[in-house]
Amino acid sequence: MDQEARQIAAAATVLKNKTDEDARRSELEKARRDWDAAPSGKTTAAFLEVATDSKSADTFAETANEILRSFRDGRIGGVAADDLADLLESHYRLLPPSERSSGAVFVMKEEIANLRASSRTKVG
C-alpha cells in the first residue's frame, strides 16, 4: 500500500472511530434519559449496559455514580442495596482488563463494598 493509500485508510479509521464514539455517546444519553424518566432495576441495568459498552472506566464510573446518587436519594424503587452492588459489580467485570484497574473503578469498587456493608447493617 502506498503512502497516500495508508493516509486515506488512517483517516477513514479516525472518522469511523469518531462516528462510533459519537454514536456511543448518543446511545448513552438516550439510556440516561430513559433511566432518569423511570429509574428501576430494569432501566438501571440497561443504563449500566450501555455505559459498559463504552469500554471506558470513566464513563462507567460516571454512570455508576449517577445511579448511586439516585439510589441514596430513594429514586430507584424495588432495588435492594445488595442487588445494586451485584448489578454494578457484574457490569464492572465486563470492562476491558486495562480499564478495570483505573482509579475511577477503584473508587467504584469501594462504593460496591459500602453498599454491601450497609445492606448487612440493615439486616443485622
Residue-by-residue pLDDT tens, the chain, 124 positions: 566 666 666 666 655 666 777 888 888 888 899 889 989 988 899 899 999 988 889 999 999 999 999 999 999 988 999 999 999 999 999 999 999 888 888 888 899 999 999 877 765 5
User: Cα separation of 71 and 61, whole Å?
Assistant: 15
Burial class of residue 32 in the structure, from the number of CB atoms within 10 Å of its CB (0-12 exposed, 13-18 middle, 19+ buried): middle
pLDDT the model gives residue 88 = 96
Q: How far apart are the first and last CA of the chain?
A: 68
pLDDT the model gives residue 66 = 95
Question: Which residue, 17, 16, 52, is CA-closest to 31?
Answer: 52
pTM over 0.85: no
Which residues, in sequence order, are CB contacts of 24 under 8 Å at separation 6+? 50, 53, 54
Residue 13 φ/ψ, nearest 5 degrees:
-65, -45
